[in-house]
Amino acid sequence: MALMNAAVLHGFDDLRLDEVPRPEPVAPGTVLVRIRACGICQTDYKAVKGIRRNVRFPIILGHEPSGIVAAVGPGVTRVKEGDEVICQPSGFCGVCEQCRLGNTHYCSHAFTTGGDGPEDVWNGAFAEYMLTTESCLFPKPAGVSFDAAALTEPLAGAWKGVVQYSQIQVGDDVVVVGVGSIGLLCLMVARAAGAGRLIAIDTSAHARSQALKLGATHAIDPAAGYAREAVYEILPQGPDLVVEAAGPIEAVRLVLELRRRGTRWNLFGITTHETFELDGGLNHFLESRMDASFGVTPLAMQHAIRLMERGVIEPLDIISHRFPLDRIHEAMAVMANPNRNKVIVNP
């Protein structure tokens, strides 16, 4: 039996470097990928620290990978050993009603590699090898590095939330609340889509500085308690679109304060079960529209790849740290540092 190194989460705050059996693509349609790079998502960190509780142990996390096809299973025809690929974590059957409507992330038989959402969770990419299916693989463009390719999934989520769901229009005034790595990708997508004034809100001076470098026209520190007033000083008529990419419930409450009539708002960052009050009558009067975006689809993945391949968005700009797999504990510790952006693991 072949073995591989992997970071296995045995319980909350119990992440171990283990030698485990290497999976093999014995089932029809399955593919074994040699992982070259995998991003750490905030949801991975929350699972390790016990903030996210919908985790079954033991589990190998990591759902933002790129790599090289190591072996293929029966019936696989689209990829072969040696192909450089990008992996979509959201697996789908392709034939249920939701899949045929294009909502593959709602698939009745969904699985995910290293993430959350469906009941069926496969081991992820904080390992030397990962098993997935042929339908979850996309060719990696030659001009896109493995590290950049590993950010296809979060970039696809940003495209799906900002463009497909919240329908940004050229010239829209946009506010992004929370400009960590996913917020920066939302900001970069908004900039590429033709945002007019683009305001970043974050308590971290480092994050605000990065946002200004990557296209924000203004940056606001909400810690002073006057974020709404500061936004309306810049945008007297209020924002067209507000994207919450922060996570804490306070960020959602700020989004509500920023609305004016017709504002579209997207709850992108909050993933924990916390509540906020919504005045139904006011929302009715404002005609403000709430969207949310969870997971990705082949459509979103393909658009993200096009953005990278054509040089519209460079994900490498948001990578601040890289670690080999055997230093994953250091990588997780960096996730708590406010002066970091995207952290990459290179098995």
N residues, the chain:
347
- Report the pLDDT value the prediction gives residue 106, as an integer from 0 to 100: 95
Q: What is the pLDDT of residues 181-219, one digit of tens each?
A: 999 999 999 999 999 999 999 999 999 999 999 999 999
Residue 299 falls inside a structural domain: no
- Report the pLDDT value the prediction gives residue 272, as an integer from 0 to 100: 82
Residue 168 sits in the same domain as residue 282? yes
Residue 44 sits in the same domain as residue 136? yes
Residue 127 falls inside a structural domain: yes
Residue 66 sits in the same domain as residue 171? no
The number of distinct structural domains making up the chain is 2
CATH number at residue 195: 3.40.50.720
What token pair was written down for 291?
Answer: 């969207």
- Measured in degrees and rounded to the nearest 5, phi and psi for residue 185 equal -65, -40
- Report the pLDDT value the prediction gives residue 224, as an integer from 0 to 100: 85
Residue 270 sits in the same domain as residue 335? no
Whether 338 has a pLDDT exceeding 90, the answer reads no
Residue 200 sits in the same domain as residue 178? yes
Q: What is the pLDDT of residues 93-152, one digit of tens each?
A: 999 999 999 999 999 999 999 998 899 999 999 999 999 999 999 999 999 999 999 999
C-alpha–C-alpha distance, residues 133 and 29, integer Å: 6
CATH number at residue 80: 3.90.180.10
- Report the pLDDT value the prediction gives residue 117, as an integer from 0 to 100: 86
Residue 195 sits in the same domain as residue 265? yes
Residue 199 sits in the same domain as residue 277? yes
Residue 308 falls inside a structural domain: no
CA 63 to chain centre: 9
Residue 93 sits in the same domain as residue 227? no
pTM here?
Answer: 0.96
Residue 203 sits in the same domain as residue 257? yes
Domain ranges, residue 225: 157-292
Residue 298 falls inside a structural domain: no
Q: What is the pLDDT of residues 8-59, one digit of tens each?
A: 999 999 999 999 999 999 999 999 999 999 999 999 999 999 998 999 999 9
C-alpha–C-alpha distance, residues 179 and 200, integer Å: 7
Residue 143 falls inside a structural domain: yes
Residue 13 sits in the same domain as residue 30? yes
Q: Which residues, in sequence order, are bridge partners of residue 278? A: none
- Report the pLDDT value the prediction gives residue 34, as an integer from 0 to 100: 98
3-state SS, one letter per residue, for the chain: CCEEEEEEEEECCEEEEEEEECCCCCCCCEEEEEEEEEECCHHHHHHHHCCCCCCCCCEECCCCEEEEEEEECCCCCCCCCCCEEEECCEECCCCCHHHHCCCHHHCCCCEEECCCCCCEEECCCCECEEEEEHHHEEECCCCCCHHHHCCHHHHHHHHHHHHHHCCCCCCCCEEEECCCHHHHHHHHHHHHCCCCCEEEECCCHHHHHHHHHCCCCEEECHHHCCHHHHHHHHCCCCCCEEEECCCCHHHHHHHHHHCCCCCEEEECCCCCCCCCCCCHHHHHHHCCEEEECCCCCHHHHHHHHHHHHCCCCCHHHHEEEEEEHHHHHHHHHHCCCCCCCEEEEEC
Residue 161 sits in the same domain as residue 222? yes
Residue type present at position 175 = V
Residue 101 falls inside a structural domain: yes
Residue 7 sits in the same domain as residue 146? yes
What token pair was written down for 147?
Answer: 């590290």
- Measured in degrees and rounded to the nearest 5, phi and psi for residue 7 equal -95, 110
Q: What is the pLDDT of residues 302-315, one digit of tens each?
A: 999 999 999 999 99
